[in-house]
Copies of this chain bind each other. A is one copy, B any other.
Amino acid sequence: MTLAVNLSSRAAGMPSSPIRRLAPLASAARAAGKTVYGLNIGQPDIPTPREVLDRLRSFRQDNVPYGPSEGLPEMLDVLHAYYRGLGLDVERSHLFVTTGGSEAILFVLASVSDPGDEVLAFEPFYTNYAGFSGLLGVRLVPVTTDPSTGYHLPPRAVIEARLSERTRAILICSPNNPTGTVYTAEELDLLADICRDRGLFLIADEVYREFTYDGRAHRSALSLPGLDDRVVVVDSLSKRLSVCGIRVGCIVTRNRDLLSAVLRCGQARLCPPTLGQYAALAMADVPASYMQRVVREYQARRDTIFEALTSTPGVALRRPEGAFYVCACLPVDDAARFAEFLLQDFDLNGETVMIAPADGFYATPGLGRHEARLAYVLEVEALHRAMRAFSAALQAYPGRT
């Protein structure tokens, strides 16, 4: 007799990526000869610094061995110098190298929360927070932010109303994916206060740290006073060096017990990628002018997309402050259907746009139906063309409201 096998409830509850679900439609549109401007995913087009690629090509070892679970010693040195260069009081022993920022989130969530525990996050949020929470059996509790305030934090009472006995941490991302919001010093202080008073970890995703505009400075959660035992930064080199595929990130915390837990998680997976780390060592040789040029380029793109969106009738948004995303409210019945329309039923002189409908970035059912995220990861001229197609599509869309 054969007894059936079943998958886990955990598996059934894992969300599928809202960013990637349109991919088959985009492939079909391209196959049909359309130019599809991809504004749907945070895949920078900026060239990787020459130093990093040259370093990779100079790999001369005769095999590719495991490295230490906490990262190559030279990688820890380079990262340590990077954080010190930011003026942050970080020791080398506060660092742990991960397989991208993704693994950093997984290991930190695992180390601070048990199945059934809760972690607060401000929606719309980076979808993969929900994926990792689901994998670990942790409940991600959303606090909704408002497009009309530029997705800045709600008042303290609103946040505290979402805390429970099971809450273990508050998870933030600043500069924010998907909204482009950069939290102010006052907002960080508010969160620090709540975490101090309520015995919570503050997990800060700062992978877009350098991507701030209009002269705005980023304040790292690592600079918050009196929170040494509860601040954890998750970080990644992916966006900073345009090396998303090397899968190198890190965890930074001054909490030794947390680092020890993270190390034990890390030993189970042996080590982060040796080749990616080897290439990334060259970040020490990349001149400051590289990042300055990249930020200038993104600010110009931000201006281009913001001006195009604000001059499109019915579209509402605040000027994004950082990262390379903008979330906008669209005059449509359903942004997911509009995204499909763009790929399936529309083109302007053979050109169209791929966007990320925002419902996937919300945990609260029904929210985000009239919003979309656009990633400005194309050059200004291409962005102009993309936005012309986007505006025309909004006029042509049958579900316009």
By a beta-carbon cutoff of 8 Å, the part of chain A in contact with chain B is 1-12, 14-17, 20, 41, 43-48, 53, 56-59, 62-67, 69, 99-100, 102-103, 106, 110-115, 117, 128, 131-132, 134-137, 168, 196-201, 226, 229-230, 242-247, 255, 257-258, 261, 263-265, 267-276, 279
Q: Contact check, A244 vs B62: say whether CB atoms are below 8 A apart.
A: no
Q: Contact check, A15 vs B65: say whether CB atoms are below 8 A apart.
A: no
- Decide: A132 near B100, CB < 8 A? Known: A17-B69, A65-B244, A275-B279: no
Say how far A30's CB is from chain B's closest CB, in angstroms.
15
Q: Contact check, B275 vs A110: say whether CB atoms are below 8 A apart.
A: no
Tell me how many chains of this kind the complex includes.
2
- Give the residue of B5, B53, B67, B131 whose beta carbon is less than 8 angstroms from that of A230: B5
In the assembly, what is the distance between CA of A276 and CA of B99, in Å? 12
* Closest B residue, CB atoms, query A21: B267
Q: Contact check, A11 vs B111: say whether CB atoms are below 8 A apart.
A: yes
- Decide: A5 near B137, CB < 8 A? Known: A66-B244, A103-B269: no
Contacts A8-B110, A45-B63 known; list 17 others, CB within 8 Å: A1-B196, A2-B196, A5-B199, A5-B230, A7-B261, A8-B168, A10-B113, A11-B261, A67-B245, A99-B269, A131-B264, A245-B274, A246-B273, A247-B273, A273-B273, A273-B275, A275-B275
Q: Contact check, A15 vs B264: say whether CB atoms are below 8 A apart.
A: yes
Q: Contact check, A9 vs B229: say whether CB atoms are below 8 A apart.
A: no
* Closest B residue, CB atoms, query A255: B5
| Residues of the B chain whose Cβ atoms lie less than 8 Å from the Cβ of A275 | 56, 245-246, 273, 275-276, 279
In the assembly, what is the distance between CA of A232 and CA of B275, in Å? 28
* Closest B residue, CB atoms, query A275: B275
- Give the residue of B131, B196, B268 whose beta carbon is less than 8 angstroms from that of A132: B268
| Residues of the B chain whose Cβ atoms lie less than 8 Å from the Cβ of A59 | 53, 56-57
> Which 4 interchain pairs have the tightest Cβ spacing?
A245-B274, A131-B268, A3-B199, A11-B261
| Residues of the B chain whose Cβ atoms lie less than 8 Å from the Cβ of A15 | 264
| Residues of the B chain whose Cβ atoms lie less than 8 Å from the Cβ of A269 | 99-100, 102-103, 106, 128, 131
Most central of A16, A242, A258, A273 by chain B CB within 10 Å: A273
Say how far A394's CB is from chain B's closest CB, in angstroms.
28
* Closest B residue, CB atoms, query A277: B245
| Residues of the B chain whose Cβ atoms lie less than 8 Å from the Cβ of A9 | 114
* Closest B residue, CB atoms, query A46: B63
* Closest B residue, CB atoms, query A202: B5
Q: Contact check, B244 vs A102: say whether CB atoms are below 8 A apart.
A: no
In the assembly, what is the distance between CA of A244 and CA of B273, in Å? 9
| Residues of the B chain whose Cβ atoms lie less than 8 Å from the Cβ of A273 | 99, 245-247, 273, 275-276
- Give the residue of B112, B198, B270 whose beta carbon is less than 8 angstroms from that of A8: B112
- Decide: A244 near B64, CB < 8 A? Known: A9-B114, A261-B7, A261-B14: yes
* Closest B residue, CB atoms, query A272: B247
Q: Contact check, B197 vs A5: say whether CB atoms are below 8 A apart.
A: no
Q: Contact check, A100 vs B270: say whether CB atoms are below 8 A apart.
A: yes
* Closest B residue, CB atoms, query A2: B196
| Residues of the B chain whose Cβ atoms lie less than 8 Å from the Cβ of A230 | 5
- Decide: A48 near B20, CB < 8 A? Known: A110-B10, A272-B247: no
| Residues of the B chain whose Cβ atoms lie less than 8 Å from the Cβ of A62 | 47-48, 53
In the assembly, what is the distance between CA of A246 and CA of B271, in Å? 10
| Residues of the B chain whose Cβ atoms lie less than 8 Å from the Cβ of A272 | 247
Q: Contact check, A1 vs B197: say whether CB atoms are below 8 A apart.
A: yes
Can you list 24 pairs linking A and B with CB atoms under 8 Å apart?
A: A2-B196, A5-B112, A5-B199, A6-B199, A7-B112, A8-B110, A8-B114, A10-B113, A10-B115, A11-B110, A14-B261, A20-B267, A41-B66, A48-B62, A56-B56, A100-B269, A102-B268, A115-B137, A128-B267, A131-B268, A135-B136, A136-B137, A247-B271, A247-B272
